[in-house]
């Protein structure tokens, strides 16, 4: 599912005789900007109290808009949560991809990718707990979004391995099914670490995840 939050806003330049040029937003751009503010408002509210306690009043207070504006853009709190989850997940995925140096051996690339993932989780612990532990409270659309996000992460692993095997042909190929299993296993490791509320556990889980990936990709005796 593609997030409707626009990452950048384009402006339309309007000029008049003897008047300076001014920038205005189209109706669609203004709507995207408001949606982004509302998503940001929800994230700020979650950081304060966790998702379950957040109200629409909290969201609009942080976004500095009215409840009417909220309901013009989102059906309910859960719909806003889904968009927030997708936006944060997309940002995390971009961060992971940018951390990987495609010229390095695949083992190093995997370590860099997992390290970037751990760093993203540690930025806002409460938000991480919400997205990993409270997502069920946001309903079936949120769970569907999580599944789609996991598939994007799995595809990233497949692409990483496919490119790496061009330089290291002895590595085993990675199917989409196996990549999905890896993502699920890594996610479970993160859940355990986060439930224990110990930051050091996240790093331990990442190291275990790296070992898991190596075990899947390296044939015995290689």
Can you give the CATH number for the domain in which 144 is found? 1.10.357
In a domain, 175, yes or no: yes
Task: Kindly state whether residue 2 falls inside one of the protein's structural domains.
Answer: no
Q: Using CA of residue 93, residue 94, residue 98, residue 102, what is the dihedral sign?
A: positive
Find the domain containing 198 and state its range: 78-217
Above 80 in pLDDT, residue 87? yes
Residues near 121 by beta carbon (within 8 Å), at least 6 away in sequence: 128, 190, 194, 202
Q: Which run of H or of E encompasses 7? A: none
User: What's the average model confidence in pLDDT over 175-184?
Assistant: 93
Is 109 part of a structural domain of the chain? yes
CB 130 within 8 A of CB 46: yes
126 is a domain residue: yes
The pLDDT value given to residue 81: 96
Residues 177, 18: Cα–Cα separation, whole Å: 63
Q: What are the tokens at 105?
A: 């051996």
Residue 9 covered by a domain: no
pTM for the model: 0.79
Instruction: Output the pLDDT for position 189.
Output: 85
Tell whether 101 is covered by a domain.
yes
16-20, 25-29, 81-85, 194-198: the lowest-pLDDT one: 16-20
CB 80 within 8 A of CB 39: yes
Overall number of domains in the chain: 1
- Percent of the chain scoring above 70 in pLDDT: 84
CA distance 112 to 97: 9
Could you say which DSSP state residue 9 is in? -
The answer to whether residue 146 sits within a structural domain is yes
Query: What per-residue confidence (pLDDT) applies to 36?
Result: 94
Lowest mean pLDDT among 6-10, 51-55, 177-181, 212-216: 6-10
Q: Which pLDDT score is estimated for 4?
A: 47
Flag whether 190 is in a domain.
Answer: yes
Least confident of 40-49, 72-81, 114-123: 114-123
Residue closest to 93 by CA, chosen among 161, 176, 154? 154
């Amino acid at each position: 599912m593609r997030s409707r939050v626009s990452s950048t806003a384009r402006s339309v330049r309007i000029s008049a005789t003897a008047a300076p040029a001014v920038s205005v937003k189209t109706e669609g751009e203004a709507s995207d900007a408001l949606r982004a503010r509302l998503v940001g408002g929800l994230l700020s509210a979650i950081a304060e109290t966790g998702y379950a306690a957040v109200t629409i009043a909290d969201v609009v207070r942080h976004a500095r808009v009215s409840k009417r504006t909220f309901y013009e853009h989102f059906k309910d709190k859960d719909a806003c949560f889904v968009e927030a989850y997708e936006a944060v997940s997309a940002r995390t995925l971009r961060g992971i991809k940018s951390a990987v140096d495609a010229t390095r051996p695949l083992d190093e690339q995997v370590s860099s990718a997992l390290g970037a993932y751990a760093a993203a989780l540690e930025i806002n612990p409460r938000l991480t707990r919400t997205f990993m532990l409270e997502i069920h409270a946001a309903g079936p659309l949120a769970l569907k979004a999580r599944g789609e996000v996991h598939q994007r992460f799995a595809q990233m692993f497949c692409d990483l391995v496919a490119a790496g095997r061009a330089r290291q042909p002895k590595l085993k190929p990675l199917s989409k099914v196996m990549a999905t299993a890896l993502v699920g296993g890594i996610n479970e490791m993160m859940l355990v670490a986060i439930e224990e509320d110990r930051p050091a556990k996240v790093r331990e889980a990442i190291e275990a995840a790296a070992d898991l990936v190596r075990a899947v990709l390296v044939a015995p005796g290689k």
